[in-house]
């Protein structure tokens, strides 16, 4: 279904407006805090489970293969740790890749609220399993369960499309981006702080049940999951009336690769390709920035925390304020092009930064670029798609983002650490070329009808 065919039917959501954007914002924000609490804990988690499990079991098998790969690539100092974090996060992202289109498609047919309640409950359950993950295989099971239910973000994003007109769609997606940015700043801070609290020392009687030194951040994530569940049950009204849902008998592929290839809308395929190409470039930065700053400028964990906080604040300002004003004056395709140009310049500045001032300038440019790209791509996806397929198409969009997060951290780690002298230059040059390629691809995108 073409985007123009939905233009006349888009007035209905404006008239009923069963749900405010503020409710969706808080739903996403709480979900993303819990999701990102684990981000700063990777190296410490590896050391902890090595002490608990040693070199036996699941962890021993995994590390045996990681160490063999590190030796073959000529770097045994940092690469094993990088690959461990990359593989664990990749397993999580691969499951998101498969399940995001499923949850999105189900929400098209059965409504947003019920699917959100189910997936948020599943996410909370994964955090509860993490609380009692006394062994690595239980921790891995908790992360895999979180990956299955973590594709629910596409459902909440589709609800934004349900309650906004075509004219305000992309500006509203900027609010979604601000929720992402704020959640991804708050969560790691909570994770880093709460990791100092060892519940085993406070409640030693629960140690036989699997309580561990990282149970405190896991417990906070679980409590946030419960809060979100109560919040959705109390305030999240259904945004898809029965008459607007997809035909029950309509068959849609569950395989995400087949779902992507089956997209018959050239504009949707084009914007997905732009977003996927850009996402690889951005995730390469995320996977390597703290290593670059530590090696080149001697940054400690505290200084890296400040740097990542600066990145998050710039993203929040851009997606919460700047992009909304720009979209009042410029079409989405133009804002997207500007974001890709700023991102390209930012990646070059970071990769070749001779002093910290240039590093911060590069981070600011990249945050500005990403803050323009993300709402524009999400808005364009929604505008190009038909009214009855918002959840499915946005699910495929989120699924491709998960795929980039599944493959990029490992590839970026290998590129960075196997060439100690020029690894950063090579990695960031390739990332900049990808961002530039995304800009060239974006030039072919049509401006959707409103």
**pLDDT tens string 382-433:** 999 887 788 888 888 888 888 898 889 888 888 887 776 788 899 999 999 9
Residue 339, pLDDT score: 97
* Sequence-separated (6 or more) residues with CB below 8 Å from residue 249: none
Residue 176, pLDDT score: 83
Q: Could you say which DSSP state residue 152 is in?
A: G
**In this structure, what token pair is assigned to residue 10?**
């888009």
Residue 15, pLDDT score: 43
Residue 449, pLDDT score: 77
Residue 41, pLDDT score: 80
Q: For 166, phi and psi rounded to 5 degrees?
A: -65, -35
What are 216-252's pLDDT values in tens digits? 999 999 999 999 999 999 999 999 888 777 554 445 5
DSSP alpha helix (H) spans, 298-355 = 301-317, 323-329, 332-351
Cα angle value 272/33/147 (rounded, 5°): 55
Residue 171, pLDDT score: 83
Residues 45 and 316: their CA atoms lie apart, in Å, by 29
Q: Could you say which DSSP state residue 262 is in?
A: T
Q: Could you say which DSSP state residue 337 is in?
A: H
Residue 93, pLDDT score: 85
User: For the chain, where do the domains classified as CATH 1.20.1250.20 start and end?
Assistant: 17-244, 266-384+419-450
Residue 356, pLDDT score: 95
Q: Which residues of the chain have pLDDT under 70?
A: 1-19, 43, 54-56, 69-70, 73-83, 85, 246-262, 301, 420, 450
Q: What is the pTM of this model?
A: 0.79
Question: What is the helix, strand, coil percentage profile of the chain, to 5?
Answer: 80, 0, 20
What are 435-446's pLDDT values in tens digits? 999 999 999 999
Q: How many CB atoms lie within 10 A of CB 319?
A: 28
CA dist 128 → 161, 222, 312 (Å): 32, 6, 28
Buried residues in 162-197 as b, exposed as e (16+ CB within 10 A)? bbbbbebbbbbbbbbbbbbbbbbbbbbbbbbebbee
* Superfamily grouping for domain 266-384+419-450: MFS general substrate transporter like domains (1.20.1250.20)
Residues 42 and 283: their CA atoms lie apart, in Å, by 16
Residue 450, pLDDT score: 66
Cα angle value 438/439/440 (rounded, 5°): 90
Residue 16, pLDDT score: 47
Residue 291, pLDDT score: 82
Report the CATH number of the 17-244 domain: 1.20.1250.20
């Amino acid at each position: 279904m073409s985007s123009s065919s939905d233009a006349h039917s888009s007035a209905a959501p404006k008239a009923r407006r069963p749900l405010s954007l503020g409710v969706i914002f808080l739903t996403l924000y709480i979900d993303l805090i819990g999701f990102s609490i684990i981000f700063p804990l990777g190296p410490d988690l590896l050391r902890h489970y090595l002490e608990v499990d040693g070199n036996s079991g699941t962890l021993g098998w995994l590390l045996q293969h990681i160490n063999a790969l590190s030796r073959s690539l000529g770097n045994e100092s940092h690469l094993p740790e990088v690959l461990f974090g990359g593989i664990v996060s990749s397993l999580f992202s691969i499951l998101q890749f498969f399940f995001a289109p499923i949850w999105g498609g189900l929400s098209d047919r059965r409504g947003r609220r019920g699917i959100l309640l189910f997936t948020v409950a599943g996410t909370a359950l994964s955090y509860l399993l993490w609380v009692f993950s006394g062994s690595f295989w239980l921790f891995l099971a908790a992360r895999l369960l979180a990956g299955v239910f973590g594709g629910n973000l596409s459902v909440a994003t589709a609800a934004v499309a349900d309650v906004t007109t075509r004219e305000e769609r992309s500006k509203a997606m900027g609010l979604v981006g601000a929720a992402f940015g704020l959640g991804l700043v708050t969560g790691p801070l909570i994770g880093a702080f709460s990791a100092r609290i060892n519940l085993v020392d406070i409640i030693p009687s629960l140690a036989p049940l699997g309580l561990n030194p990282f149970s405190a951040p896991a417990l906070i994530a679980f409590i946030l999951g419960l809060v979100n569940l109560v919040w959705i049950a109390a305030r999240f009204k259904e945004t898809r009336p029965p008459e607007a849902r997809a035909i029950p008998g309509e068959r849609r592929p569950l395989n995400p690769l087949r779902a992507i290839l089956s997209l018959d809308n050239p504009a949707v395929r084009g914007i997905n390709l732009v977003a996927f190409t850009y996402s690889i470039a951005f995730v390469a930065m995320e996977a390597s920035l703290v290593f670059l700053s530590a090696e080149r400028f001697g940054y400690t964990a505290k200084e890296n925390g400040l740097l990542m906080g600066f990145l998050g604040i710039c993203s929040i300002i851009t997606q919460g304020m700047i992009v909304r004003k720009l979209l009042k004056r410029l079409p989405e395709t133009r804002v997207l092009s500007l974001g890709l140009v700023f991102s390209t310049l930012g990646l070059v500045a970071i990769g070749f930064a001779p002093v910290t001032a240039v590093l911060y300038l590069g981070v600011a440019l990249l945050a500005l670029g990403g803050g323009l790209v993300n709402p524009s791509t999400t808005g364009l996806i929604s505008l190009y798609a038909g009214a009855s397929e918002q959840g499915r198409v946005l699910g495929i969009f989120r699924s491709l983002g998960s795929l980039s997060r599944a493959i990029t951290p490992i590839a970026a780690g290998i590129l960075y650490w196997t060439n100690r002298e020029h690894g950063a230059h090579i990695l960031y040059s390739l990332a900049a070329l990808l961002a530039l390629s995304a800009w060239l691809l974006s030039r072919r995108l049509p401006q959707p009808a409103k």
